[in-house]
Structure formats: C-alpha cells, structure tokens
Amino acid sequence: MSTFKIPLHKPFWGREEEKAAILAMRSGTGVGDLSFSENLSEELKQSLNVAYALPTGSGTAALELACDSLLKKDDEVIVPSFTFSSCANAIILAGAKPIFCDIDINTYNIDPAALEKLINKKTKAIMVVHYAGFACDMDKILNIARKNKLYVIEDAAHALGASYKDKKLGTIGDVGCFSFHGTKNVASGEGGAFVTNEKKISHIAEIIREKGTNRSAFMRGERKKYTWVHVGKSLILSDILSAIALEQIKKLDTITMMRRKSASYMLSRLEKINSKLILPHEPDNVYGNWHIFAIRVPRLVRDHLIKRLRAYGIEASFHYLPLHSSKMGAKLGYKVGDLPVTEEVSATLVRLPMYPGLKKSEIDYIAAVIKKILL
C-alpha cells in the first residue's frame, strides 16, 4: 500500500479480476497458454484489430521478442533516449546497437527530423515510444521507414486504448509491444503482449517466446510432437495473470474515459495557476489515454516542487533519466549534452498522480498545493 494520500498510480481492479484469478487457479496449473491466455489473445486481436497477439510476461519481454524476431548482429536501431531501459536492453540483447535520438519539445516523442539524420546502412529498425499514451508522428515515421526499408517497432507500453488518426497505437508499425505492469492503464501486476499483422514475424516470435520450440503449433494440434528449433527465451504469461489482464481489457474503454475525464479536470484547474507551468496537451489527430499526466516547470524549481508535493502526501515524481546520459549510456559512448531536448524535458518534468477514480476533490487539492508551492 502506498503511504501517500494521493498515490501516483492505482490499478482499477474489482471483483471481476479477483474472481477471474481464483477461477484460473482452480481450473489449471497457472502455466501460460492455457484457456485464459488464449482468450486474452483473442480479446486483444479483436479489440486491436490485429492478426496475431501473443501474451508475454512483461512489456520488456514483448520488446525482447520484437528485437529477437527482427534483428541480427550489428544492426542499428534508432530509439529515443527518453524511455525505459527495457528498450535499449532489448536491442542490445538481440546483438544490435541502440542509436539514441532526441525528442520533440512539445510531445516528448521521437523527433522525426532528428531520426532521419541518424539513418545509415546499418540501420534496421526504428523503435518508437508513445510517451504518456500520446501518439508519435506516425505518418512521418512510416514515410521515413518505407523510404529506407526499416522496421517500425512500436513500444506501446503506455499506449493501450490510445490512437492516431483512428488507428490503435501498437498496430501501426510492424510490431507492437504492450505492458500490463501494475502501474499501467491495463494492469495484471506483471504482463504484456506482442502484436503483429505479419504471419512470418508471428511465426518466429511464437517459437522464440516458447524457449525456442514449436510447442505453440503442437498445442494448436498442428504437430504431433514439439522440439527445439531456434534459440529462444521463456516469455509467456501465466494463465492466472492472463485471467486478470483479460478482465482489465474488457474495461479498457471505461478506464480510458475515466482517465480522460480526470485529465481534463486537472488541466482546467492547473491552467489558472501560473504561466510558468507547461501543461500537457492532446495534439491534432491523436486520441490519448493519459497514462501519464506530466507538467513541466523551470529547472531550478523542479526538485523542490516534487519534494514539497510529496511532503503534502501527493506522490509526484520525475520521469526518465535519459538513457544516453546514464552510466550505461556512457559505456555506449554517449555523454551529457548529446541530446539537448531530451535533457531539458527530463530536468523539468514533474509527473502528477493519474488513475481512474482520481476524485475531483483530490485534483482540487493537488492544484491548490502546486499553487501554494509555486507562488
């Protein structure tokens, strides 16, 4: 339990998730790819309108599956530095090299113009991250990818329920990776999913996901036996967690609407405070799911604001220390100063609580405390 009066996240769990978890425990061993995982896969395919959906043990596992399926040794993948370590780890573990790219100052998403400059003969893929559940500039990114014959891997860990020009995020590129981590909009504690419309990609991914065996085909009755056919990992999701994720996906529209309502009220309260606050906004053609509600303030004020908010019982936080300026980033040859927009956003961003059921009175309290600290 969080010790904060208003935590940063709160899973939207009810009796349905509890009942489903118990049912899954009573009906099997909890291993992956039993009936609840199959139903989760079907629900994902239908709700996202994709051909293939593989539940995974985490969003990280889905990213590793994407990279292991698409990349080979010494390929380069362009990825924002303003993201979680899982993105770069997945690229490196596949034998490839992450090439860090700067972001757009307004959306905090990968900057297509900066991206294009990083392409060379070794580039094999672009990994985009839909930060906070708001779409990257996918038209520009797909154009660049097509022109240069690159894969597009969508890290949609934040983005279930969000869309771009009416297309669901995670289904626009070659593969999409979702997270059902306990902090995400759809939460099963740990969990994730890998989706694609490409049969060839799905075929290799389902083998890698099942320890390098063709067990998935065997389970579908397509083979008499299964055996080791490729290098693989154990990336499947327990049926117990699939049961919880399935109930959550059924509530996705409700979860998204509740977040949008809370975010809209938060914006209306914060707009009145101070012109120094940079507030988040929904760009044209983008339908956001408000996974994250992040404001920006001057550098000198940022840490003080977070500290004071926390003292008032509000779990505010910084978000994403850039990968390029991390200890591991240095080992890859990067240094502070390499990606100025990323560094500016990271140094000025404050994440505020956002979850379904965040009350108007709590939002009033958050706004009043911010006003008190900043004035």
Ligand X SMILES: Cc1ncc(COP(=O)(O)O)c(C=O)c1O
Structure tokens at 127: 């990994």
Burial of 329 (C-beta count, 10 Å sphere; 0-12/13-18/19+): buried
Check residue 41 for interaction with ligand X (CB under 6 A): no
Using CB under 6 A as the binding rule, the residues of this chain from 5 to 34 that contact ligand X are none
Closest residue to bound ligand X by CB: 59
* Minimum separation from the CB atom of position 144 to ligand X (A): 21
| Three-point CA angle 136, 101, 275, nearest 5° | 65
Helix (H, G, I), strand (E, B) or coil at 97: strand
The secondary structure element, H or E, covering residue 145 is: helix 138-148
Restricting to residues 280-309, which ones interact with ligand X according to CB under 6 A? none
Only one of the segments 65-73, 83-91, 92-100, 342-350 lies at the binding site for ligand X (rule: CB under 6 A); that segment is 83-91
Looking at residue 132, what DSSP letter applies?
G
* Nearest-approach distance from CB 150 to ligand X, in angstroms: 20
Closest to ligand X by CB, 60 or 202: 60
Residue keyed to tokens 């840490």: 303
Q: Tell me if 13 sits within 8 A of 186, measured CB to CB.
A: no
100 binds ligand X per the rule CB under 6 A: no
- Interface residue with ligand X among 37, 60, 238, 289 (CB under 6 A) is 60
Nearest to 179 by CA among 133, 143, 221: 133
Q: Which stretch binds ligand X (CB under 6 A): 21-29, 151-159, 167-175, 257-265?
A: 151-159
Residues 172-211 binding ligand X (CB under 6 A) are 179, 181, 192
Q: Which of 168, 175, 169 is nearest to 145 (CA)?
A: 175
Provide the CA 139 distance to its chain's centre, in angstroms. 20
Q: Which residues are CB-contacts of 302 (< 8 A; sequence separation ≥ 6)?
A: 318, 347, 348, 349, 350
Stretch that binds ligand X, among 53-61, 162-170, 300-308, 341-349 (CB under 6 A): 53-61
Kindly tell me which of 86 and 196 has the beta carbon lying closer to ligand X. 86
Nearer to ligand X, 203 or 233 (CB): 233
**Residues in 120-149 at the binding interface with ligand X, rule: CB under 6 A:** 129
Residue among 78 and 87 whose Cβ is closer to ligand X: 87
Q: Residue 207 CB, nearest distance to ligand X (Å)?
A: 21
With CB under 6 A as the contact rule, which of the stretches 1-9, 34-42, 52-60, 327-335 interacts with ligand X? 52-60
Nearer to ligand X, 10 or 203 (CB): 10
Determine contact, residues 37/276, Cβ cutoff 8 Å. Answer: no
The CA-based dihedral angle spanning residues 241, 244, 249, 253, taken in that order and rounded to the nearest 10 degrees: -140
Pairing of strands 76-80, 97-101: parallel
Number of residues that bind ligand X (CB under 6 A): 14
86 binds ligand X (CB under 6 A): yes
Q: In terms of residues, how long is the chain? A: 375
- Cβ–Cβ < 8 Å for 143, 137: no
Q: Which stretch binds ligand X (CB under 6 A): 58-66, 132-140, 167-175, 249-257?
A: 58-66
* Choice between 170 and 370, CB closer to ligand X: 170
Write the CA distances from 329 to 63, 71, 109, 280, integer angstroms.
19, 21, 19, 28
Chain residues binding ligand X by CB under 6 A are 58-60, 83-84, 86-87, 129, 155, 157-158, 179, 181, 192
